Each structure stands twice: as structure tokens, then as C-alpha cells.
A and B are shown apart, each in its own frame.
Chain A
Amino acid sequence: MTDTTAVIRASHLDLTFQTADGPVHALKDVSLDIEKGSFVSFIGPSGCGKTTFLRCIAALEHPTGGSLTVNGMTPDEARRARAYGYVFQAAGLYPWRTIGRNIALPLEIMGFSKAEQAERVKRVLELVELSGFEKKFPWQLSGGMQQRASIARALAFDADILLMDEPFGALDEIVRDRLNEELLKLWAKTEKTIGFVTHSIPEAVYLSTHIVVMSPRPGRITDVIVSPLPKERPLDIRDSPEFIEVAHRVREGLRAGYEE
């Protein structure tokens, strides 16, 4: 997927952590272009560097080799230009702020006016279907609703890229299915570029336009699968032969990474 519309461009990326037990190769020779508007999932076992790669894009980690650009800038510049919103595994809402004020947090820091803050909070709450919960405190919401609020917080300042690090990993499967469905709708509505880290094969296949299969020691890309599934995806698409075939290929890719 090398073409000129790539918003995230990594070539020969290396990242080595110096630890007490010697150097750890978190990423080795990772090259990947992510097109504007695509939904890219990163899947692989623990230690394959999928989260590390996402954190490099967010400038939370800094590669030790290779090059990485986000919107044509370095990751640090891109972050200052508010290129991305980041969703963590835990919702991480501040317990002392209401849902509305939690979503306004990045807006306050970025210096939006009070009126603009209110207008944006209202809009993203509608987007994640949490209207009416603005005045509630996080503990009054279920885990799934809290995660939706944290997605709203990442959307509030209109970044083009949404980076999600196992956002539904801590939720049960029923809630997860529902949020997956909603995330697809949200993606269709907002046309954002999404980078999505997951452990779950069905989740990756269901959501993505591109599935990046990674393997550990050293963390590297073993396969990039372009999904043949249509953009419109009801939940029961998961029983279709195409879906099962893609899932099979992902599983094969994961196994190949182990056997090397």
C-alpha cells in the first residue's frame, strides 16, 4: 500500500530498549504506509511491538533507527499540531470530572473558548451516543460507556488520526461486539484514519481495511492483509466465507511468526 496519500509513513524503523538484561529489540526493520481514511489493525502476540509502533506514531516512544513521518511531519511536530487522538486500553477518565468535563479536558489544555468547548462536547457526545450523560461522573457509567466517553475525548479536538491501543481489551465480548459495530459507524461518519491494536482475530478482521500481522523477538511485520470485505459490515458478516478466509490467513500469519 505505497501511494502518495499515505498519512503515516514508516520505513526501516528500529527501536531498541536498553534494559538491565541487555538490549531488547522492540521493533526491527518495520516499513509500513498507512493511507488516509484506512482502518489499520495491528495484531500479534505480546511483545511483538504493536503497541510500541503505535506509541512511536504518537511520539510517546522514539525510534532508534529508520524514519517515521505523520502527515509529512516528525511525530513530535505532528503531536504538537494535534494530528492524532489516542485511546488507551483503560478509559482513564478523571474520577473528579464529569463526563462532559472529561471530554473538555484536551480542549481546555489546547485553549479552546468556553463556548467552543461546550459545542464540541455536545457534538462528540452525540457521536458516541452518550448525550444526556454529560453531568454524570465516570463511576456512574458502565465500563463500555466509559470507553465510549474516552473515544469522544479523543475525537473532541478533531484530529484526523485516531490511535487506539486495545481499547476494548478489558470489556466482555457482548459489549465489545456492540462497540465494534459503533466504531465502524463512527469511522464511516468521520472518515478518520484509524490505527487499532488488538489481540483478537475476529475484532481485527471485522473492523479493518488492512490487517498488519506482527511477530515477536524482534518485533516485526510478517504480513499485511488487505481486507476484501465491503465497507458496510453487519455483525453477521463474521459467518461469511470471506470473513473466515481472512481470519484463517491472519491465523496462519501469526503461526508463521512463531515457527521462524
Chain B
Amino acid sequence: MSEDTLGKKSRGKSGTGWPRWLRLPPVLGMVLALFALWYVAVVPMNVKEVLTAAERAGVAVSPPSAVERRDMGNWALVMRNTHALGDSWSSDRPKLPAPHQVLVELYDSTIDEELNGRRGIVKSGTLSNRSLVYHAIVTLNATFLGFVIGTVLGCALAVGIVHSRVMDMSVMPWAIVSQTIPIVALAPMIIVVLYSIGVQGLIPKAVISAYLSFFPVVVGMVKGLRSPDAMQMDLMRTYSAPTTAVLWKLRLPASVPYLFASLKIAIAASLVGAIVGELPVQKGGLGARMLAGSYYGQTAQIWAALLVAAGLAAVLVWATGWMERRTLRKMGAKP
């Protein structure tokens, strides 16, 4: 065994060279700092509504008229009314809800809704359509279907691009152009067009998902399929190996690490695609929840849905990474 591999072993598998427990403080510190910033930001963001409510409750605020306050800066109002800001973190319809309000909303719309709600799984036997668990599953279905379509399509296109000069020159530019169009603009059109030919529900959302996720797969797989060097290709030629054998025995196995790097991006892109696809349809899903929240001024609801979406993305990317480690270990990668 070489010096190099021995050195890597003794440094542990993390790669950063830090033991696991030592990595916790910086991560925790970052989270706490973000929460602190969030709590601070809540005060100026909600100051106008808080002062109006205080005025109604009979507290003297400065300046006394709402019209005057409207044209003033938020920080200036905060400075002049430090005595009347007690309700900043508990207002009913905050522009920016405080973290604990979001967490309460998150609890209410997941565990509480399912366990105690009239439509919850405990009382009705099915998931409540007011719960984020239900909406997350709706979104996940579209995400997975879109991810599978995008991955298969991406791999197929990459195989074509690598083997055919015509496809290389004709498909690749379109694949790149496709990603320059804002998906928010394209998503409603995809839904309308598919609806007009009778396709609705899961498929249109999955198509939008696939539209976003095929691209990283194409780019990664083209690079991966081309990664065997001249010597490895020559070796195959000395066996008079047919193109299919070169593909199955050399190009595809060599592209697996590239594929997984792409899949991590693709799964996150699929989730974004599914959420964007839910915005115009309003038939369930985290995207629908976010838009509904903004219609009714329920910012805590938007934030709770956002948190669930972020959590899902983290879990999906982690799961892809786990699959990657497992697969590469089976393919003989150094532990």
C-alpha cells in the first residue's frame, strides 16, 4: 500500500480531517446565528402592523398617525417606539413570522392536524388535505416520477450524443437553450398544452420536473461516458469489441461516479420543478400550499411549507449520496 493511502486512512473518512463531534459546534453556531438574525429582522419587518395594533390598544406611538408612519423607514419607527414593540414576535398576520411561529404552524399542520384534526389520519383513516404530510407526499410523487423520466431521458440523450456526431451537434445546443428559459414562465404553458390533450394531474408536474432534471444528467453522463482514456479505448479495439460492448463494459461503468454527481443536482431540481408545477394548478402539493398561503396572507403557512420543502430536498440529496457510497463501494472504490 502506498504512503498516500495510509495517510488518508489515519485521517479518518470525513475528508475534512475533523472528528465528527468537533464538527457540531460550527454547524450549531451557524444555525443559532441565523435564528438570531431572523428574530432581529422580525421587528422592523412587522413594525407598522405592530404599532397600529398598539395604537388601537391605547398605547401612545410616535408619530401618532398611520399615514405619517407609512412613509417612514422601518428602522426609524423601531427606534422611536421601542416601548411598543412587545407584540412583534406574536402578531397575527406578520409580514415575517418569527421562527417559533413557523415551528408552531409546522407542528399544527403536520402532527397536530393528523393526530387530532377532524380530517386527520387518526380520525378519518386518510391523510388530511390540510396537512403538510399529505402535500409533501403529493409533491414527492411528482418529484420521483419526474426524476426517473429526467434521468432515463438524460442518460439516453448522453448515449446518443457520445455515439453520434450529428446528435452531439444538434441536441446539445437545444439542451443548453432549454435551461435558459425561466421555468416559472414555461410551467403554465406545459400544463395548459398537456391539459388540452387530456393529460392532467401527476404527469404535467412530472414533465416539468423532468425538464429541469434531465439537463444535469445529460451534461454529467456525456462527460462520464467520454471519461475512458485513449488507452482504455485502444484496449477495447484490440479485442475487436463491438460498440455495445464498449458501452456496457467500459463507458457505462466508468460514468457511474459522474452519474451520481449529476443525480444529486437532478433530484433537487426535480423537487423545484414539482413545486413550480403545482403553483398554477392548485390541486395539492407544497407549491399549492405556498401560493394559498400568499393569497390569504398566511406567511407562517408559506414558511412552514418552505421548511418542509427544504427538509425534503436535504433528505433526497442525502439519500442519493447514500446510494452513491453504497454503489461505489460495491464497484470496488477504496473504503
Q: Write the residues of chain A forming the contact surface with B, with a CB cutoff of 8 angstroms.
A: 58-60, 79-80, 82, 84-86, 88-90, 92, 94-98, 105-106, 108-110, 137-139
Contacts and interface: CB of A to CB of B under 8 A. Distances in A.
A92 B237 CA distance: 14
24 contacts: A60-B237, A79-B237, A79-B240, A80-B240, A84-B238, A86-B234, A86-B238, A88-B235, A89-B231, A92-B231, A94-B253, A95-B333, A96-B254, A105-B239, A105-B249, A106-B239, A108-B249, A109-B236, A109-B239, A109-B245, A109-B249, A110-B239, A137-B332, A138-B332
Contact of A96 (B235, B240, B241, B256): B256
A137 B231 CA distance: 20
On chain B, which size bracket covers the interface? 20 to 34
Interface of B is mostly: helix
Interface of A is mostly: loop
Interface string B241-267: 100010001100110100000000000
Contacts of A88: 231, 234-235
Given A137-B332, A139-B334, A92 B235 contact: yes
Given A80-B240, A109-B241, A96 B332 contact: yes
Given A88-B231, A138-B332, 12 more contacts: A60-B238, A88-B235, A94-B250, A95-B331, A95-B333, A96-B331, A106-B239, A109-B241, A109-B249, A137-B332, A139-B332, A139-B334
B90 interface: no
Nearest to A137: B332
B282 interface: no
Contacts of B254: 94, 96
Nearest to A140: B1
A111 B291 CA distance: 59
B230 to A, nearest CB: 10
A60 B253 contact: no
B116 interface: no
A60 B239 CA distance: 11
